[in-house]
Amino acid sequence: MQAQVKLGRIAGISVGLHYSWFIIALLITLSLAEHFRTVTPRWSSTVVWSAAIVTGVLFFVALLLHELAHSLLAKARGLRVRAITLFALGGVSQIESEASDAKSEFWIAIVGPLTSLAIGLVCLWIARLTGWLPGTEPSVPAIAVLLWLGYINMMLAAFNMIPGYPLDGGRVLRALIWWITRNADRSTQLASQVGQAVAFIFIFLGLYRFFLGANFGGLWLAFIGWFLLDASRSSYAQVAVMTGLRGRPVADMMERDCPTVEGHLTLRDFVDEYLLRTGRRCFIVVQNHNVSGLITSHEIKQVDRERWPLTSVQSVMRHLDQVRSVTPDTPAIQALEIMTREDINQLPVLSNGHLEGVFSRGHVLRFLQTHAEMQGR
Ligand SMILES: [Zn+2]
């Protein structure tokens, strides 16, 4: 999930919003105004709306604190945290790598719900100190705001502790299985199966409620279930990829005999003779028997078709010293992280300035497939 609106950085972590967050912010403010109107009919509409907006903003701050708790603990445990993004269903912390031990995983996961629980309790406690008696309606707007924040944060803590991977509760479950079995892969598999079961229950209950009472809350529940199902499947796939690649260097999966083209070739000849005929997407450019750069369909697209017969490959190629490269010993996981961070599809593999091969996502997939077949899975 990429943030479309950047808000700034906290402790080196960039914080942003996804567009879907605005829809939910609007819905929350509207339903808060409705809620305050019913609990305190004597308030003027200015007070109702101000209270709704203030509560909405504080709710957003509470969500951010929940995510910050995950991220800061992950950083303290030596993991790299790229960003926090808030979206329609809450927040996500983009932690770049997985925890290396069960204990770290456990604390990084559980600190979020604990933070929400603490915020909820503090809100109710302040409300109590300022004269609210449990079981009574709030007498002043400030108490109404505190009560709503108190209950919603406690509900948030409870919802996140549902043991459906990748919800926080699912991560806690995974950490516990990991700790007991000492097998990280097995624990991911089990936790993601529980996650999918929970997701199906959500979808079923949501649809059941929707068809029984035409209730949109039911549809919302089903939607959360569907999101959870998708998330638990893809995070399992991601972990499986990481497991398959762990300890593997780039040299194990790079392409060694990359197709080469002469730099003086025109783009038209290159497209007709090489690009279309071979179906490959990346070529090494050689000049006087020396490797000088890379050319992909991306560079071709930058040039107007009419100019293809007049433009040489070497004039549009990416020079070898300009592109990001790795060595044959670079761990494959690290190479994938570089490609994701810099949004590129191929990495030349260099050893002492000499081109050894090309590494791409396609090679990783092919490697994982053959690897899985060899293991008879
Ligand atoms: Zn969380």
Percentage of the chain beyond pLDDT 70 is 93
pLDDT at res. 373: 54
Q: How far is CA 126 from CA 143, 154, 166, in A?
A: 8, 15, 33
* CA 183 / ligand 1 centre spacing (Å): 23
pLDDT at res. 115: 95
**How crowded is residue 182: how many other Cβ atoms within 10 Å of its Cβ?**
10
* CA 279 / ligand 1 centre spacing (Å): 44
* CA 76 / ligand 1 centre spacing (Å): 17
pLDDT at res. 234: 75
Decide if pLDDT at 329 tops 50: yes
* CA 66 / ligand 1 centre spacing (Å): 6
Query: For residues 127 and 191, what is the distance between their CA atoms, to the nearest angstrom?
Result: 38
Query: For residues 29 and 34, what is the distance between their CA atoms, to the nearest angstrom?
Result: 9
pLDDT at res. 4: 72
* Per-residue confidence band for 1, with pLDDT thresholds at 50, 70 and 90: low
pLDDT at res. 216: 66
For the chain, the average pLDDT equals: 82
* CA 109 / ligand 1 centre spacing (Å): 7
Supply 64's token pair: 């951010």
* CA 196 / ligand 1 centre spacing (Å): 18
pLDDT at res. 371: 62
Decide if pLDDT at 274 tops 90: no
Q: Which residue has the higher pLDDT, 245 or 125?
A: 125
pLDDT at res. 118: 96
Contact 324, 338 (CB under 8 A): yes
* CA 175 / ligand 1 centre spacing (Å): 15
* CA 67 / ligand 1 centre spacing (Å): 6
Instruction: Show the DSSP H helices in the chain as ranges.
Output: 20-39, 45-76, 102-129, 141-160, 168-181, 184-213, 216-245, 267-270, 276-278, 297-301, 313-316, 332-342, 361-374
* CA 231 / ligand 1 centre spacing (Å): 14
Q: Residue 45: left (phi > 0), alpha (psi -120 to 50), or beta?
A: alpha
Q: How far is CA 111 from CA 70, 120, 149, 192, in A?
A: 6, 14, 19, 20
Each residue's pLDDT tens digit, 77-106? 888 887 888 877 677 777 776 777 888 889
pLDDT at res. 276: 83
pLDDT at res. 89: 67
Residue whose token pair is 């077949």: 373
pLDDT at res. 377: 36
Helix (H) or strand (E) holding 88: none
* CA 138 / ligand 1 centre spacing (Å): 30
* Per-residue confidence band for 348, with pLDDT thresholds at 50, 70 and 90: confident
**Highest mean predicted confidence (pLDDT) among 40-49, 137-146, 309-318:** 309-318
Mean pLDDT is lowest, of 155-169, 212-226, 285-299, 328-342, for 212-226
- Three-class secondary structure of residue 166 per DSSP: coil
* CA 168 / ligand 1 centre spacing (Å): 5
- Three-class secondary structure of residue 319 per DSSP: strand
* CA 64 / ligand 1 centre spacing (Å): 10
pLDDT at res. 247: 75
- Residues 6+ positions from 37 with CB-CB distance below 8 Å: 43, 48
pLDDT at res. 111: 94
Query: For residues 74 and 97, what is the distance between their CA atoms, to the nearest angstrom?
Result: 10
Query: For residues 159 and 135, what is the distance between their CA atoms, to the nearest angstrom?
Result: 23
Mean pLDDT is lowest, of 76-80, 81-85, 161-165, 367-371, for 367-371
* CA 126 / ligand 1 centre spacing (Å): 24
* CA 95 / ligand 1 centre spacing (Å): 12
Decide if pLDDT at 122 tops 90: yes
* Per-residue confidence band for 114, with pLDDT thresholds at 50, 70 and 90: very high
* Per-residue confidence band for 375, with pLDDT thresholds at 50, 70 and 90: very low
Decide if pLDDT at 119 tops 80: yes
- Residues 6+ positions from 8 with CB-CB distance below 8 Å: 14, 15
